[in-house]
Structure 1
């Protein structure tokens, strides 16, 4: 299965980290975010990478060249950053079957394999990794609504009044049907061609999109503090520290406090 990495962004909110490099080349725990993405896609069985580049694209191209650990890389150029649906159309000519899509500013340690497996079962036209976030944060993301079968029935991009707190995380699988939907998308109020609008068109055309709830964690590297948080989590994982351990420590502390 081919894998697409969207890495054309400027990362203005990450400045000064992005003053001289594109967002995807910001290092997290000693290596660029894109490298983290490529490693995970490799482990998921990707047989070809298609990387969408834009801002300071030569930094990415010169760093990775035409392959990553023996897996070929093709580059697609998004000349203007006009939204994720617009970015996706730059890879249309390279995709002829189901594919993985990852946003090149996300760090995952989660059940991505479950999303790929669901796509390969041929019961869904697309599958998304989703997670619940605090309600006050939901307006930062594409917000999903699901039915009792776990299928996505509505998606709204960055709504002022979110209908739920279940959001898309930045890892998807699609069939090529997504490209036709992207061609039909009109600019949003933000002036961008939103992936959520393309997904909504798929849903209205009767396509099935499954929501796979996250088991693990992910960090969207939008601000310098997000980079720091991702580093802390990765280092904790390397040292074998888990949230379960933290929870156990808290329970022990609570028990000791109650016995005093």
Structure 2
């Protein structure tokens, strides 16, 4: 399965960290965010990384070259940042089967493999992780509305008045049907082509969609304080791992 990573964004909310580098090259625990993404995708069995670049793209290309851990990298250029659905369409010619999609500004330590497995088992056109966030944070994300049975009935991007606090995280698997939906997406009130709108079109057309609850954690690195949170979590995990290793040796 190929893995698409969206990394074209400028990261204006992360300034000054992004004044001389794209968002994906901001370091968290001494590694660029993209390295964390690539490592996770390789663990999931990605046989090719298709990376969408834009702002200061050469910084990414020069750093990673044409492979990561012996997995080939293909680059696609989003010339204007017009939203995630627009970014996804830049890789359409590179994808001919089911694929993983990760947003290149997220750090995950979560059950990503459950998304891949469920999508394959259910032959779903889309599967993604969801999590409940504090209500005041929901408007930062694609928000899922559900019926009384807990089924997702629609998805709305960054609403002023969120219908719930259940949000999509930055990891998905899709069939190529998502590209047709992206072509149908109209600009949102923000003037962007939203991936949430494409997923909503799949839902409204009766396609099989799987939403899997997040187990573990993830941090969407949108602000400097998010970077600090992700770094603190990773350092804490490293300390715990070292402690467990020492206990194992002693026993």
Query: So what's the TM-score if we normalise by structure 1?
Result: 0.90
Measured after TM superposition, the shift of residue 111 of structure 1 is 0.4
Query: What is the aligned length?
Result: 241
Q: For residue 38 of structure 1, what is the aligned residue in structure 2?
A: 38
Deviation string 1:122-153 (CA, Å, 9 cap, x unpaired) is 34211010000011111111001235666432
Q: CA RMSD in A?
A: 1.2
CA distance in 1, matches of 2:177, 2:124: 12
Structure 2 distance, partners of 1:106, 1:181, is: 24
Distance 1:148 1:121, change over 3 A: farther
Distance 2:50 2:149 in 1: 32
Find the aligned partners of 1:150 and 1:238 in 2 and give their Cα distance.
Answer: 36
- Which runs of structure 2 are paired with 1:75-154 in the superposition (5 Å)? 75-147=75-147, 151-154=151-154
Q: How does 1:2-21 map to 2 (within 5 A)?
A: 2-21=2-21
CA-CA distance at 1:39 after TM superposition: 0.1
Helix, strand or coil at the partner of 2:240: coil
Equivalent residue, structure 1, for 2:197: 197
Paired residue for 1:73? 73
**Paired position in structure 2 for 1:157:** 157
Q: 1:4 touches 1:52 (CA, 8 Å); kept in 2?
A: yes
- Flag structure 2 segments of 5+ consecutive residues without an equivalent: 242-251
Larger Rg belongs to: 1
Which residue matches 1:217? 217
Query: Contact 1:151 / 1:209 at 8 angstroms: preserved in 2?
Result: no
Gaps of 5+ in 1: 242-260
Q: 1:115·1:172 contact (CA, 8 Å) conserved in 2?
A: yes
Q: Does 1:58 align with 2:58?
A: yes
Q: Larger deviation: 49-58 or 135-144?
A: 135-144
Secondary structure (helix, strand or coil) at the match of 2:178 reads helix
Q: Secondary structure at the match of 1:239?
A: helix
Deviates more, 1:199-208 or 1:22-31: 199-208
**Could you say what secondary structure the match of 2:173 adopts?**
strand
| Contact preservation (8 Å) 2:126, 2:199 | no
Per the normalisation by structure 2, the TM-score is 0.94
3-state SS of 1:117 partner: helix
